Structure 1
């Protein structure tokens, strides 16, 4: 008994008070207590703080426990999970809880806790999930909650929280789910919400928020669910919401929004549920997309809308009597456009003159004059210490890449072309054009160029965490967790989706591999090296190649048989990289000889023997004892199966049978969301806790 390490008596019909915790306090090796889903009554005894200092999980959710949370709970200094959801707890959240600096999951929803959320919560620096919904909490959300830099899930719904949403909350870069619904929050949303780079679901409904919906909301391209209903939002629906390409549900009902419905919303392929009811919208209801199956319930309360007779909404009337005013507007618009063009021409001349005086080349075609940075050859020499080997980041067939520090102390990467290679100049021009056409957060940004007869260089943003190749194969002890790997490949997928589907001319990368996937300071992935990229013009689906591009092992098999490159050939390369990042095996590994390839090796193990082929460090993720299988192995295995299945579908031999990158992004997005509970030591084998209602999952486990 004294050597007991885990106790699981959850989801039975056990009853009585919690006096047995006294006996458990003698078990000094106790790691886990799970008594959830029973009929235990009474109070949490103060002596629960005397339980084993090795205790990592205390789960007593879904019982009938009363009283307050004892302040002595803070004595459990190694606790990772504290779940008391679904009881009858009252009183305040103890301020001592801020001392539990190892806590990663705090689940107190569905109780009767009152008072404020203590400022001391900022001490929970490792907290990943915070669920305080359905209580009686009041006062503002503490500004210190912005210090929870590891937070991924925050659910504070169904309380009486007041005042404005703290500005610091909008800077949580790892936050995936934010649910502040059904409170009394007021004020405006900030104009810039783009720091929430990982956000997937946001529910702010049932508050008193006002002002305009931020245009920047459209930049949160991971978003699947947005609910801003039952607030006081004004102004028009931003056109930028049409950039939420993964959105499945958008609810803007019961506000004071005005103007027309943006036609671009019809382009949102996955948007299945749109509610715009009870606003002040007017004009033509768009046709196609989500509006093909929209119901009257989602549009009612906007009396000035027109153009949907099947729902009893009258057709729009042609207003020819406004033609004169339209002509006058056209004249004013043309005059304004001419003025802008003249100003732009003058600016171009000024920049060209300045450039020639400094000895630089003219600006590359299509460059944004406002963001282009003029950097001379002499400044590059100083920045790289005369291109010394100490500053060398890497080299390839066409180039060498150096780290540099400019006069303003900012860091850059300088890609110097090998002018002895006849292909270098063509590679330079190709990469310039591709990077100028394509602007996306997951593509390496081109800062400037420098060129003369003997020297050509691209100046790119510097990526301090190196390449994916470095992380997979360096011997310096660096390792990537499962969630990090999923996040990196989701970043890459979003970049490829942008290149393939969101440009007038689709860009084919043609050389996707780990060394071309770079990681910034926040471990966000950026695709680089567009030296052999190709453009698909108009409605072309493929392009005939005069030479075989890419790298052996990553090239699609149709290169050899047809000589054609297409979107599908990039997807094949992506599938191989996806296999590589989870197996930590190069496709050119010496073990792959004859008919055996990386893909075949993995497919032979799929799905029941994946543990024999995946990177062993994934299976040991967060586990100190390598001889003991992780408690969440079954959940881990489910996520691995989903990932490997996706990789195999991307790398099918027949190009037409491969997935599109649009579908890859959606699939990976969901895998990442589902895997959070399995791989950050949060909710591990206790299943998903308190997932908000919009995921339509039943609370289980803790």
Structure 2
């Protein structure tokens, strides 16, 4: 007997299997289904409208399949006959390939508590009829192609606690009427096209614990009310990657329980001293922002083009030693002045060289005598060194103690050499991926002239005690100065396997070559496979293998190392790994012009992590 013929069937749960094919069209006609859970399978085809044929269905979970077609236009008829006596409705259709618009009849499901249509291809607008869903507690329409404006009617959903509309094409302004959502704790409007200013009402919701509006086109100042509710609870605000301007004064008034990220905006002017505590405690939240204090002294933001570091300084900062000992790091951080901060570019001539410069500063510091110490931190000791009358350096001695799990020094060792292989948990993988990307971003965009590393690979990514990455081995690095560097040379640089095939026999310097190598490294970090792994078919390399498996299955679990799958019980981690695979795929595009810049890569990884952490707020 086929399952569609079972007349007494009420509840059918087939989640977490490998079922394929279409859902039987007759399922639901002969039985009064109340619950259907087919999540995390490989079902294809459209959503059968007969699942709710007898109008008793109150829980429909079809997420993480390969369903196609549109959301049934008469979905509003799915509710039971007697609304007052019915159970709360629950509808989860996420991570499919649904297209078309969200039907307005969805607004008839007045007892629904959860609607999740995320990670599909839905287009057009968000129906204002959703404002009728007075029992709705969670609405997730993220990762679609929804456009138009955000309907103000959503503010009528007074029980809404989580609203995620991120990664769409929504535009216009953010409605101030959202302030009426008094139960809202999670708000994610990131990666859309919202313009105008940030409404102060977004920071005045009493139960709000996580708010994300990063990656939009918001302008104007930060509202002074930011963090106003944080004294009663922890509050996380992500307003990075916008066009916000004026002063950072409001940040200085934040309560200690608030976390805020304002990176990649257009702030200018002096930073009040109360704000500097936030810059010091969380520098990664102030990336690409020139930081000044009121007396004119400039702090160097490591990812700001105005940081005042020279290429030689940067190269030595991210260099390292394979040994478990001491690494000397040289950087030109600032030039002291009584009244004014002067930025200086100090370029080392070919005759002088980096080694000669290092020798000079070591001699001037009497081999790092303690009397030249100007500060100590968790990663080492900083020394002030003066050469002549105008050259002032900061020399930092970094101590690498190696990975906690064993006697390893590089990502290559952690991935392939250590026995038994250490478990790379989500936080460690993210640190390595983001830290390496930030290092390359700095070399490509914040050094003048830019630096092309040419040899990005796991062996050259050294890991500190907390899994923080350090890019090393600049033995084949070239400074990208097109006026003096020839387009080609007689030496092939880089390692085949970490270079696009077209570049393997071409030595023209390009940032895109580093981007490609980073994509290969990211693929290895996720799969834990070698570039030319024996498990690949024929002469396929890791880039071709990941692309082939993804195109065939769209299944993250078929690509990642099996040790990571246990973490996928947390769906937010699975989504983050999927994001990493997609970033690696973009980085390894065959056509160099289609690859993202490292600035884009850092932004994508940061947004992905913010989204992952925001889901944990629940």
TM-score normalised by structure 1 residue count: 0.42
The alignment's TM-score, normalised by the length of structure 2, stands at 0.47
Larger-gyration structure (1/2) = 1
